[in-house]
Chains A and B, each alone.
Chain A
Amino acid sequence: MPTPVSADTIGGMPVVEVENLTKSFPAADGGVVPVLRGITLQVAPGEFLAVVGPSGSGKSTLLYCMSGLEPATTGRVRVLGQDVGTASRGALAKLRRDHVGFIFQSYNLIPSLTARENVALPARLARRRVNPDDALAQVGLADRASYRPAALSGGQQQRVAIARVLAVRPDVVFADEPTGALDTESGTRVLDLLAGVARERSVVMVTHDLEAAARADRVLVLRDGAIHRELTHPHPDDVFAAVAGAS
């Protein structure tokens, strides 16, 4: 089994490779619901990829399959050259710990840990040293380092999750609607930070915010579990038009 290599060393090799990915869930009537129908894509090192599409089109499912949190039904997913479908649980854990960052829509943080402790957590699991305070300062939360999640606003919690990514410097970050619960201003702030991360690392972001999507290098428009359109360095109007065509 190939050991994962960091994006710094793999040159132009894709960070994530998805080949003919399908995913179905068991349906209530005993049949199956196809959710993803044959998706092939690649994410390049340092690329900022946005995934948009109507609700229920399979965006979150794609993100989870791409990151190895959900197993694919058929097809192949490789993250940093490692096949997540055949990797052992221990190998997957190591891959996530050292190379992958997640930002979920909510519940990103362990409630019993302070912001600082949450930021340092992946590094602690890897027995590495990081500087959580630096990362928190970068997201403007230096003064909230010793607060627990319950005492932080939604946007602040989201920024702590980003600080965690900044501190650990994973090769690829998967974000599911990171601005979904935020007002415009905090949303913009979170996006600026993510775009900053994407300058050196790869970021895959699922979003309903088409303005936000237009800031990505590439936008995939999903429809009924398949890639409907693909736009490179799009103008916001093009994204709007493409999504309108998908729904």
Chain B
Amino acid sequence: MLDKSKYPEVDGILAGYAYNRSALIAMLQEIQSAYNYLPEEVLEHISTEIDIPLSKIFSVATFYENFSLEPKGKYIIKICDGTACHVKKSIPILDTIKKELGLNSSKHTTDDFLFTLETVSCLGACGLAPVILVNGKVYAKMTPESALAVIKEIKENESK
């Protein structure tokens, strides 16, 4: 069959791991960084390609905190609420950003898919607590005000 695959990019990732089932977590990680979440139809595709039941893939994808089955925003803001950051008052920062973006404990992504807000436990930068991470970039020694400034800057750059 000369059927062209619907997901050449995914196939590339799977091939990179030689379709080895034990690399499932690593595959999902790469797929998530390509799509910024794990689309259901892609999981179905993996299931047939590497011959693992879809239920098994779901069980793994839902077990680990880092995987998301829902699309995320363009900017993923992670607020560290590890012990060091918590003691240095990370919660007021979280509350401020939630309020600013109109998010709450069940809604993590803004309607325009610009921002997703998450908490993480420790980024290893505790010496600079409290810290936040925006798309992988660490911002140190934050306050609610400086966190708002970061968001404002992103919004301004986006509307240009």
Do the two chains belong together in a single complex?
Answer: no
Measured CB to CB, the residues of B under 8 A from A are: none
